[in-house]
Structure 1
Amino acid sequence: MLAAQRQSEILERVRRTGSVRVAELATELAVSEMTIRRDLDALDERGLLSKVHGGATAAGPGATHEPGFAAKSVRQQAEKATIAQRAASLVRPGTAVALSAGTTTAGLAGLLRDVPDLTVVTNSIPVADALRRDNPADADSALLESGPQVVLTGGVRTRSDALVGPIAVAAIGSLHCDVLFLGVHGMSQRAGFTTPNLMEAETNRALVASAGRLVVLADHTKWDTVGISTMAALREADVLITDSGLPDAARDILAGEVGELIIVEAPAA
C-alpha cells in the first residue's frame, strides 16, 4: 500500500471513530509503528488530525473557525436562555445599553423589549430584529412608543451576523453607553475573551471602550476555547455570567480575575 493510500485510510478511520491508536493501525495495515507515526506526523502537519501520545484524534476547530449564527443558536439553548434572563435583571430603565453580536445576546435582546426608555446600541442584525415591535403581536401604538430605541451600526456582515469593520468602529467610537453585554467565542486564562474574526475583535474592542461597565455572557463550553484575537482581558470584565457546567478549576480562576462571577443553574435537559 502506498503512503498516500495508507494515510487516506488512517484519516477515514479518524473521521469515523474520532481517534486511532498507533499499535492497532500498524497491525491492521501490516506496517511498522514507525511508519504509522510518520503518517500521523504528515497528517498532523497538514491539520487533518491531531497527533497525541500513542495515536491521533480528529482535528478540532482552529482559532479562525467561525460557526454561523444558525449553527450556534441550537447549542446550549437552556444555558444561554438562563444566562440571558440573569443578564436582563441588570438592565435599568432610562439607560443606554450596548449588545454585541451573539446568540446569547440575541436572547437577551428579546427580554428587553418592555424596559422603558431604553436605548440599545448593537452591531448585530439578530439583536436588532429581536428588539423590533413592528409585528402583528405588537401592533399597539403605545408599545411602539415605549419600546427601546435601537441604534444599529453599519459595517461588513460576518458569518455570525455581526456588522464589523471601519464603519462600525467609527460609529461606536462616538457613543457612550452605560453597560455592554458582550458575547464571546471563547475565554481562557491565557488569552482572555476571544473571537475567531479579526474584524469583529476590533469592533468589539470599540464596544468595550464605549461602555462604562462590561458584562460578559458566556456558557461553560466557552471555557478554554481560544479564537485568534483577544477582545478583552478577563480582568476587564466587571461581571461574568456563566452556567453551572463550568468546571471548579475554571470557577476559581475566573473568580480571581473578573469583578463578579455569577453562575446560574440551567434547567435540566
Structure 2
Amino acid sequence: MVAINTQTILITGASSGIGAACANTFARENPRLILAARRLEKLEQKAWELNKLHGAEVHLLQLDVCDRLAVESAINSLPEEWSEIDILVNNAGLSRGLDKLYEGDFQDWEEMIDTNIKGLLYLTRYIVPGMVKRGHGHIINIGSIAGHQTYPGGNVYCATKAAVKAISEGLKQDLLGTPIRVTSVDPGMVETEFSEVRFHGDTEKAKKVYQGLQPLTADDVADVVFFCATRPNHVNINEVILMPVDQASATLVNRQL
C-alpha cells in the first residue's frame, strides 16, 4: 500500500457528500488536505472537525470550479508548501432536474455542463502539468453509473458523466509513458445531497428516490477512492463501478415498500 501521509491531496466539492467523506477518510492518514468548495462556512467546519479528530493539516479554497480564472488563480496562488499536489479528486458535480430533453431548463443544462465537465477539465488542466513535471501524481474522477447507462429524464446529466468517462480514458492515454495514474470511480445510487440538489431543494421528493432500498453512503464511495489511491505505484485502477445490492442497473432497483 502506498503511504499518503507525505502527500498533498486536493478534493473539490469537499463541503458535503462524497467530497467531505473523502476528506474524512484521507485525513486518518494525516496527509496535507486542500479542500475546495463554494460554501466556505461548511469548509471551515469540516477543517475544524478534521483537525480535532486527526490533527489534520488543512488548507481551504473557497472556489467555484466553473470559473476558469478563479481556478487558475487559486492553483497559482497556493502557498509554496501546498503547491505540489499529488492526488486530485475531481468530485465537484451535480444534477439538475429530470425533465424530458425537449422540455429541459437551459439554466439546469448550463450548470451541469459547467460543473461536471468544464470544472473537472479546469482543475485537471492546471494541476496535471505539475504532476508530469515532478513525475508523480494521481487523478481520481468521480463519475457515475449515469456515464455508462442513460435513464429517462437523465439526458444531459448522463451526457456529462459520459464525458467524464471519456475524459478519464483520454487522459490515461495522454499520460502513457509517465508514472501518473488516472482513475474513474463511478457509483450508482448514493444518498447524499445529490437528489435534493437535483430537485432544487425539494426534500420530500428527494427522499422518495431512496425509499424502500438501502443506497450506498458517501463513506462507501470514499473507501473505494482511498483504495484506488493507495495501491502500489505500478498499479492503476482505471475504473470502478459500484452500486448498492438493491440496484442492478441505472433503472432497475429492488424496493421493499
Tell me whether the two structures share a fold, i.e. TM-score over 0.5.
no
Larger strand percent: 1
| TM-score, L = length of structure 1 | 0.42
| TM-score, L = length of structure 2 | 0.43
Higher relative contact order, chain-length normalized (CA < 8 Å, sep 6+):
2
